[in-house]
Structure 1
Amino acid sequence: MDVSHIGVRVRDLDASVKFYTALGFTEAKRLTVPDQMAEGLLGLSPPIGFEAVYLRNGGVVLQLLTFSGYPAPDEPERGMVGAGLTHLSVAVADLAAAQDAVTAAGGAVVADPGGGFACMVRDPDGQLIELVNERVRPVPPVNEAR
């Protein structure tokens, strides 16, 4: 078994694609799921309006998804102490350049302890993302694992 993809609910697919593209993701596929299929899979009642964009970065596939029939509610910002998925971490060559790309693409830098090792940012929907200098990531990529 292996991980197929990680799904992230977004409010605006195009804005989110722009944001994640700025972090090195590339668009792999767009998909509109018919309501009948979405109803059976997700247990939602039509109209659902399920649309998804799949993005790749290395061996990771990120699914950005939205449901036009179910507008995303306003929620408090997610943090590190709640149960469930807390953050996505992206290794970058240049932390300062990545921070600039994040803000230019509609995100925000929310914590930067300095030193050029890592920082926390939020995507346009408030999802927490860690940017980590690729030289100090805690686990090397599979192709570099020893």
Structure 2
Amino acid sequence: MRTLHFGLRVSDLERSLAFYTAVGYTVIGTVEGTAYGKLTMLQLPGDDFVTIELVYDPAKGEAGPGVGINHLVIQVESLDATRADLAAKGIEPEPIEYPGGAAGPRTCWITDPDGYRIEVLQWPDGHADGITKADFA
């Protein structure tokens, strides 16, 4: 088993699409008229699968944190290059953090238009492309 994607309810689809495409996501497809509203599927370059489904239904009003989703994490090759690219696109990343100490991952945070928090992460050289049991040894 594996996690495929998560649905993220948004209050303004165009505003959210502008943000997520600036981050690097591309729209793979849409599904109209579902019980949840319009669904827009997003994928990062290099990924084989959709990882975010934007869920838009203007009748449901404002969206944002506090309804079950804490944050999502995007892995990048170079945090410095990604921060510069985001800033050039008008997305101001927060300062770099070292949650595992100097030898651990480097991270920073950005916030989408609805207030969802996104952690941008660069693993140290030689680290697996994800969290493993070895991270808790």
Q: Same fold (TM over 0.5)?
A: yes
Aligned to 1:99: 83
Unaligned runs of 5+ in 2: 131-137
Aligned to 1:55: 42
Q: Is the 8 A contact 1:86 1:128 kept in 2?
A: yes
Q: Is the 8 A contact 1:54 1:64 kept in 2?
A: yes
Q: Give the deviation of 1:128 after TM superposition.
A: 0.6
Distance in 2 (CA, whole Å) between partners of 1:126 and 1:107 is 13
Distance in 1 (CA, whole Å) between partners of 2:106 and 2:40 is 30
Aligned to 2:109: 120
Distance in 2 (CA, whole Å) between partners of 1:137 and 1:68 is 45
Change in Cα spacing, 1:31 to 1:117, as seen in structure 2 (3 Å) is same
Q: Is the 8 A contact 1:113 1:119 kept in 2?
A: yes
Q: How does 1:127-146 map to 2 (within 5 A)?
A: 127-135=116-124, 139-140=128-129
Structure 2 SS opposite 1:110: coil
Structure 2 SS opposite 1:3: coil
Q: Given residue 89 of structure 1, which amino acid in structure 2 is its aligned partner?
A: V
Report the TM-score, using the length of structure 1 for normalisation.
Answer: 0.65
Q: CA RMSD in A?
A: 3.1
Q: Give the deviation of 1:136 after TM superposition.
A: 5.6
- Poorly superposed stretches of 4+, deviation over 6 Å: none
Matched residue pairs, number?
122
Q: 1:110 aligns with which of 94, 99, 109?
A: 94
Offset from partner CA, 1:99-127 (integer Å, 9 cap, x none): 24434555442342377821111112111
Offset from partner CA, 1:63-98 (integer Å, 9 cap, x none): 01111112116x6xx4xxx79432111111222332
Change in Cα spacing, 1:102 to 1:127, as seen in structure 2 (3 Å) is farther
Q: Structure 1 residue 90 and structure 2 residue 77: aligned?
A: no
Q: Give the deviation of 1:8 after TM superposition.
A: 0.7
Change in Cα spacing, 1:99 to 1:27, as seen in structure 2 (3 Å) is same
Q: Is the 8 A contact 2:10 2:114 kept in 1?
A: yes
Offset from partner CA, 1:3-27 (integer Å, 9 cap, x none): 3421111122122222222333221
Unaligned runs of 5+ in 1: 43-49, 142-146
Q: Given residue 66 of structure 1, which amino acid in structure 2 is its aligned partner?
A: Y
Change in Cα spacing, 1:103 to 1:72, as seen in structure 2 (3 Å) is farther
Q: Is the 8 A contact 2:86 2:92 kept in 1?
A: yes
